[in-house]
Amino acid sequence: MFQVNDYLAYGNSGVCKVIEIGTPDMNGIDKSILYYTLQPVYSKGSIIYTPTGNENKAIRKILSEEEALDLINDIPNIETIQESNDKLREIIYKEAMKKHECREWVKIIKTLYLKNKQRLLDGKKIASTDLRYLHEAEECLYGELSIPLGIPKDNMEDLINNKIDLLI
C-alpha cells in the first residue's frame, strides 16, 4: 500500500502524488472502500480517486534515485526497436506504452531519436506517428525521472539525448 506523499506512476496520468488515503465524500462511491486521492504532478488542478486495492501494473511506485541513475547509465545497453514495417512498428510502440515501464519508454525514445536524426541528415521529415510516440514516451519518462533526480522535467531531454549521442 502506498502512503501519503508517495509519488507513483498512474497509468496514462503520469506521475501523481498521494495526497490522501480514505473515503472521499462523494456520491456514488462505495463507503466501505479506501481510496487514494492522487494529484497529477504535471497536470495541476486535477484529482484522481482510485481504490487502494487497485494496485495493478498501471499503478506503481516511481523509480528511486538509484534506479533512475542506473536506468540512465544503462541507456547504451537498451536495445532499439528494429521493425522496418511502419504499421508493425506502431503496434510495437503502442504495446510498449501500455506497459507503463521506464525501460520501454527509453527503447522508444532511443529508437526514434536515432531514426529521426538520420532522417533529418537525409533531408527527410519526421513521420507524424513517430513524433507522436516520441513525445508520449518523453512525457512519461521525463516526468518520472525528474522527481527522484530533482531535475526539472524540461531539462531531462538534454540529459537523455546526451546519453544517446554517446552511441553515435
* In a shared domain, residues 156 and 74: yes
Question: Which structural domain, as residue segments, surrounds residue 93?
Answer: 65-165
For residues 45 and 69, membership in a common domain is answered with: no
Quick: pLDDT tens for 23-65: 988 888 888 899 999 999 998 889 999 888 876 667 899 999 9
Say if residue 56 is in the same domain as residue 70.
no
Give the model confidence (pLDDT) of 59-112 as tens digits: 899 999 999 999 999 999 999 999 989 899 999 999 999 999 999 999 999 999
- Cα–Cα nearest to 2, from 29, 45, 26, 37: 37
Q: Taking each helix axis as running N to C, give the angle between helix 65-73 and helix 153-165, from 0 to 180 degrees, rounded to the nearest 10.
A: 30
Q: Would residue 108 count as lying in a domain?
A: yes
Same domain, yes or no: 107 and 78: yes
Residues 95 and 53 both lie in one domain: no
Grouping H, G, I as helix, E, B as strand and the rest as coil, residue 10 is strand
Pair 145, 160 in one domain? yes
Rounded to two decimals, what is the model's pTM? 0.89
Burial of 23 (0-12, 13-18, 19+ CB in 10 A): middle
Same domain, 75 and 119: yes
Number of domains in the chain: 2
According to DSSP, the residues that pair with 17 across neighbouring strands are 7, 39
Which pLDDT score, from 0 to 100, does residue 65 have?
97
Residue 37 shares a structural domain with residue 49: yes
Of the candidates 68, 8, 75, 67, the one whose C-alpha atom is nearest the C-alpha of residue 37 is 8
